[in-house]
């Protein structure tokens, strides 16, 4: 049997680091993901990158404030949590 990883990526309009952390902490937990740890970095003069290490893989955000958008990416080995996350982010 071969392992399966589901990958989801999207561009969103939110670029505020505090709001991104709040929204995605909540969304990941509501989707059933288990957050092992979180790390982030603020770039000078602008920009932000964050990574949530999950039991079921990982989630990352990379802001591009000069363009008013953020790239999000989820990799998961759990299809149910993956689909729940996508459904919840469609409402953001």
Instruction: Catalogue the active-site residues.
Output: 57, 62, 77
Rg for the chain, CA atoms, rounded: 13
Burial grade of 65 (CB within 10 A; 0-12, 13-18, 19 or more) = middle
Residue with tokens 């970095």: 41
Question: How far is residue 70's CA from residue 14's CA, in Å, rounded to a whole number?
Answer: 6
- Pairing label, strands 35-42, 48-54: antiparallel
């Amino acid at each position: 049997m071969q392992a399966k990883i589901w990958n989801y990526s999207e561009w969103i309009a939110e670029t505020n680091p505090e709001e991104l952390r709040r929204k995605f902490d909540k969304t990941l937990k509501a989707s059933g993901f288990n957050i092992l740890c979180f790390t982030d970095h603020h770039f000078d003069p602008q920009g932000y990158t964050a990574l949530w290490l999950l039991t079921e893989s990982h989630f990352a955000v990379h802001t591009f404030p000069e363009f008013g958008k953020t790239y999000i990416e989820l990799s998961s080995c759990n299809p149910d949590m993956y689909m729940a996350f996508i459904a919840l982010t469609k409402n953001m």
